[in-house]
Amino acid sequence: MSETDAGEETSGKFGEYGGQYVPEALMPAISELDDAYRRYVLDNEDGFMDEFRTRLREFGGRPTPLQHAETLSSRYGFDVYLKREDLLHGGAHKLNNALGQVLLAKYMGKERIIAETGAGQHGTATAMAAAHLDMDCEVFMGERDINRQRPNVFRMRLNGAELNPVSTGSGTLKEATNEAMREWATTVEDTHYVIGSVVGPHPFPTMVRGFQSVIGTEAKRQMEEKIGALPDSVLACAGGGSNTMGAFDAFVEDDTVSLVAVEAGGSSLKIDEEEDLAPNSASLSIGEEGVLHGARTKLLQNSDGQILESHSVSAGLDYAGVGPELADLVDSDRVRAVSVGDDAALSAFHRLSRLEGIIPALETSHALAYLEEIESPGEHIVVNVSGRGDKDLESVIEETEKRDIESAPTMEVFE
Amino acid sequence: MSAIRAAFEDTDAALVPYITAGDPDPDATAAQVRALADGGADVIELGLPFSEPIADGPTIQNAIQRALDAGMTPDRFFDLVASLDVDVPLVCMTYYNLIYQYGQERGVEPFVEAAAEAGLAGLIVPDLPVEESDTLKSACDFHDIDLVFIVAPTTRGERLERVLERVSGFVYVQARLGTTGARADVSDQTHDSLARLAEADVPRAVGFGVSNGEHAREIVAAGAEGVVAGSVFVDIIAQEGTDAADELEATARELKEGAVAGVAPRPERT
């Protein structure tokens, strides 16, 4: 089911998952986008893909390095390679997709870009891409996330984006996505909605995966150059799943490569039925099939089908759904879904900072934390460092103070 | 003929009000429905609240939140519908995930069966485009429930034909782009949409932004067979809480009279 032959590439269904579940007013926009995606992205009409690759290289800074992590490797007894998406312009893998979609919107003749963001990385990347390509840009962001990701909020504004705070519900990504969809339904004729992950109605999951697949394609080539072989496994954190699918796509056909999606286990994997909330964001691990934000996929929901509030120390993983293709790859056992909790992720954040001189995003820290637990790693593991952690420092200071983390610095002496 | 179709046939200008079931609490809904019927409603839409109402604006979104906070669930919704004593056909408006998750086994059949047993005459599912509607349409046909589709100002050509092949009861004509919510005027998009749907063999009811009798009159004068109004009623419930019945009835009456006045527009008085 994961073959990417030409038919499957554009069908929008991944086994039982995917599809287009959106208000009628959006259907023409989605058809128009699907048509543009086929012409410009799949068929390279007007040299779209050539321009995209050039801009990714010159504006984005691709290719990103695949770094052998020496200290981590000696710690674990197997070779750890870090795919350094944190070194991409903007500090996260998000630019691959944002640049692709903003450029596509420009080719389509749209005048305005809207986006939703959780951690702010996608909003930041979209604001940068929009500034770079001279498009108007508005970003929807939950109020709670605005408070925990202030540096990215300011970065978006620096790039000229207008920020729309969303106060409904838990004030996180789910609500920001609802609001962006509503805005799109109102302004669909001149506006493109840049969805930030491999979620949403077709063609978004396929298209975003395509723009992100450069991560795994580069990593595969780089492993060939370094060791002359494929890695034994590839690890990536999974919220919506864009860095996950980006890192995995090139390896899906290579059966010898184990693909591991690491979700946010939050404070517990158990759903709190009384409060109707999931103290985690592990929809691949404990979610049930359902329909949200335009696609059929695995969701954190109660038995009535109401979507649960999710939780993660990482705003970027805090989402009740996941990409439909990833859900299908997990069902077909091609991808293994695991989870690590908030505590382990924070420890991993400090560990990588101390041991390797790389401050990782809290999202990435989940994938890094799983290195401590991995059972049959093989000799060579690639970990996708999806982004850098500067944006998370305020959260990390606050959360670190609540815990006893080995080697973690404090701000105490300065206060 | 379905109950909804019959209700439209009985009048040249149908009023289809919407309220969210369970707002502000499940007990209040019965009195609200009776008030709307007394005010002249021909078909009543009852919202079954879903936590992520992406097709609704802030007014109905808040109503949905109030209803969820008050404990509304699909089971309570069906119990409530079954207990209502009104002659007006009732339509359930909800989102696809609630339909899909209902019952022990996932799939649409248990929900549609429960809807039919409770006495609902139709379903409106704003996040289910015609392309994804095969199984729900079959289940609705089997249980003699109408499946109402929304036609947007952007729905044209082949898409429009596909919708018209499937729709039953009435076609819900979205007056303008965007989400639900009371507006100050009637959009030009309404006239274009009604013209595109001139050949449809189901009644056309226009909604999204309809908030007073004058809107209703204009819409019917433009050729529609009915008007749908939601946020104006939900606003009353938001303000009056459990005591909204009288004002709901008065507003329904104003809208119904407006709609009827649109059938044979009188010359402007000087």
Which residues touch A202 (CB under 8 Å, ≥6 apart)? A11, A12, A13, A18, A19, A20, A30, A34, A295
- Mean pLDDT, to the nearest integer, of A259-286? 94
pLDDT of residue A6 exceeding 70, the answer is no
Shortest CA distance from A288: residue in chain B: B101
> pLDDT at position A59, please?
98
Q: Give Cα separations from B23 to B31, B49, B74, B80, B231 (angstroms).
A: 12, 9, 14, 12, 13
Among A88-102, A194-208, A376-390, the range scoring the smallest mean pLDDT is A376-390
Tell me if A306 and B129 make a contact (CB, 8 A cut-off): no
- Mean pLDDT, to the nearest integer, of A107-117? 96
Tell me: the pLDDT tens digits for A122-163? 999 999 999 999 999 999 999 988 987 888 999 999 999 999
Distance from CA of B38 to the nearest CA of A (A): 32
Say how far apart CA B92 and CA B81 lie, in whole Å: 9
Query: Which 275-294 residues of chain A touch chain B by CB within 8 A?
Result: 288-294
Say how far apart CA A258 and CA A374 lie, in whole Å: 12
Say how far apart CA A235 and CA A367 lie, in whole Å: 6
**Helix spans in A64-172 (H):** 70-76, 94-107, 121-132, 143-148, 150-158
SS3 state of residue A155: helix
Report how far Cα A200 is from the mean position of its chain's Cα atoms: 13
The partner residue sitting opposite A185, judged by closest CB among B96, B100, B178, is B178
Distance from CA of B177 to the nearest CA of A (A): 5
pLDDT of residue A4 exceeding 80, the answer is no
> pLDDT at position A338, please?
98
| Beta strands, E only, B149-189 | 150-151, 171-174
Tell me if chain B has a CB within 8 Å of the CB of A21.
Answer: yes
Whether residue A203 is preceded by a cis peptide bond, meaning omega within 30 degrees of 0, is yes
Tell me if chain A has a CB within 8 Å of the CB of B159.
Answer: yes
> pLDDT at position A7, please?
42
Tell me if chain A has a CB within 8 Å of the CB of B174.
Answer: yes
The partner residue sitting opposite A23, judged by closest CB among B100, B127, B163, is B127
Tell me if A21 and B155 make a contact (CB, 8 A cut-off): no
Among A202-206, A282-286, B5-9, B196-200, the range scoring the smallest mean pLDDT is B196-200
Q: Which residue, among A307, A334, A333, A306, has the nearest Cα to A322 in the 3D structure?
A: A307
DSSP string of A207-230? Answer: HHHHHHTHHHHHHHHHHHHHHSS-
Per-block average pLDDT, block size 10, for chain B (270 residues)?
A: 95 96 95 98 98 90 95 97 96 98 93 98 97 96 98 92 96 86 72 91 93 94 95 97 97 98 65
> pLDDT at position B268, please?
47
Tell me if A20 and B152 make a contact (CB, 8 A cut-off): no
Beta bridge partners of A21: A294
Percent of chain A clearing pLDDT 70 (strictly above): 96
> pLDDT at position B266, please?
43
The partner residue sitting opposite B106, judged by closest CB among A23, A31, A289, is A289
Residue A73 has a CB neighbour count (10 Å cut-off) of 15
Tell me if chain A has a CB within 8 Å of the CB of B61.
Answer: yes
The partner residue sitting opposite B54, judged by closest CB among A23, A29, A299, is A23
Q: Model pTM?
A: 0.94
Contact A52, A62 (CB under 8 A): no
Tell me: the pLDDT tens digits for A212-256? 999 999 999 999 999 999 999 999 999 999 999 999 999 999 999
Known active-site residue B45? yes
Confidence of residue A415 (pLDDT cuts 50, 70, 90): low
Known active-site residue A386? yes
Confidence of residue A104 (pLDDT cuts 50, 70, 90): very high
| Catalytic choice (B42, B56, B218, B254) | B56
Tell me if chain A has a CB within 8 Å of the CB of B125.
Answer: no
Cβ neighbours of A182 in B, within 8 Å: 54-55, 57, 178-179
CA angle A146, A150, A154 (to 5 degrees): 105
> pLDDT at position A313, please?
92
Contact B263, B224 (CB under 8 A): no
Confidence of residue A276 (pLDDT cuts 50, 70, 90): confident
Tell me if A24 and B151 make a contact (CB, 8 A cut-off): yes
Beta bridge partners of B14: B226
State whether the Cα torsion B63-B65-B68-B74 is positive or negative: positive
Cβ neighbours of A22 in B, within 8 Å: 54, 127, 129
Average pLDDT value over all residues in chain A: 93
